[in-house]
A and B are shown apart, each in its own frame.
Chain A
Amino acid sequence: MEFKDYYVVLGVDPTVDDKAIKTAFRKLARQYHPDVSKHPQAEAKFKEVAEAYEVLHNAEKRAEYDELRENRSRRQSHQQQGRQSGASGSSQHGFAPGGQGGFEQSDQDFSDFFNSIFGSANANENGFQYESRRGRAESSAQKGRDVEIEFPIFLEDTLADAVKPIEYILPYQDSQGYRQEMKKSLKVKIPAGVADGERIRLKGQGTPGSGHAPHGDVYLHIRLVPHPLFDVEGHNLTIALPLAPWEAALGTKITLPTLSGKIQLTIPANSQSGQRMRIKGKGLVSKTGTGDLFAVIKIVMPNHADETTKQLWTQLADKAKFDARAEWNTEPNKERNKEWSNQP
């Protein structure tokens, strides 16, 4: 087991007082707290820092840890001397405190290293407790812990009631106080119209309560899976509708995909890029009704043009008499340019 130097983790000298330890912890906690930090390893870093603080801010634990730390450094220097004098050295690797006693089951938040010194039960008895550490064994009856699970769902599956299978692992403490896990498989009815960020409660499906208290609940945190074609705006959907320039100019009929199947859509002549066409009732289902689908026109040029096509474009350019940049020469723009050109 790898030895953890808690002083290094907090970036403090082993001789510093409790106040300096607290200051170092607060600084790192602000940097890595999972609720405020965007650091990719924020949670792991924070746990490491919290574990170090847990030990070093408690006089008793700090004294115990310091003793182990000193013993280790004495052993290391002894081994080094042994090696230097040609001895084979001991087979010890890393750190094995307490005659390798320790606990088979590690505490879910503190490292094996911590548990091997202070025991997993000890981790739950002191001041600092992280979220998942709240579910300590209590002698009195107490309702089990609630569990929150991220639940990704496809847009298509929100249109009507759906039954979805779900599997999850529930941690719990057995009567001996050891951490155990149980696997649960359920089928859940997901009602039509669930939205991103909503929570679905599954009563009594959380961790078992202590004594005769009821189980906790499970909360499914709904996450809508991004769709390759549709974007969500409230309960409306948008889709980019690519059109060839001649389709936009002359109008056409196209087949448009919607969440509930394909439909025919008539594109009027002289359609503009960016124009939104509303298809009523083809959005997402919500409590206040069904949203709409907006097809946003995007005029797309062909990648290559052969000689004939080029000639036809040239003919069109000659006959159309169209200035695509006419708005650059409007009066307000001219006035503005004049006004700003007179500035010193």
Chain B
Amino acid sequence: MIQLIISEVNPQLNVEEFCHCASISETLLHELVEHSIAVPVAGVHAHEWLFNITTVSIVKKATRIHRDLAIDWAGIALALNLLDDIEKLKVENEHLKKQLSRFCGE
């Protein structure tokens, strides 16, 4: 019999859950927050921080780039911002192209 699973949409993770999920240490998380690579969605003090689940993939990407390309965290923060901008522009461009073909195409 196939099991029915209860799902959680965009769960917010505390520091411990986040570190496990992203396979990083708490010390590294502090550094990533300092560089705004990981941005908590709630909590003023470190022990109260909550992170959006989507931040996990950003942090994983950051750690892969750090490990494979030997770029420092400040450089990675900049690279991630630029990659994000490129991604947004690509999505917008695709959207506009689609709209254009709907209104001007055959």
Contact = CB atoms under 8 A, between A and B. Distances in A.
B7 A201 contact: yes
B interface residue count range (under 10 / 10 to 19 / 20 to 34 / 35 or more)? 20 to 34
B5 A231 contact: no
B21 interface: yes
Helix, strand, loop or mixed for chain B's interface?
helix
B5 A202 contact: yes
Contacts of B67: 128-129
Interface of B: 2-11, 20-21, 23, 53-54, 56-57, 60-61, 64-65, 67-70, 79, 83, 95, 98-99, 102-103
A49 to B, nearest CB: 10
A240 B98 CA distance: 11
Nearest to A187: B4
B103 A33 contact: no
Q: Which one of A36, A165, A191 has the greatest number of beta carbons of chain B within 10 Å? A: A36
Chain A: interface size category = 35 or more
A240 B102 contact: yes
5 contacts: A33-B68, A36-B79, A129-B67, A186-B3, A187-B5
B91 to A, nearest CB: 9
B57 A231 contact: no
Nearest to B82: A36
Interface of A: 26, 29-30, 33, 35-36, 46, 50, 128-131, 134, 143, 146, 148, 163, 165, 185-191, 194, 197-203, 205, 217, 219-220, 226, 231, 233, 238, 240, 274, 296, 298
B4 A163 contact: yes
Contacts of A198: 9-10, 54
A19 to B, nearest CB: 13
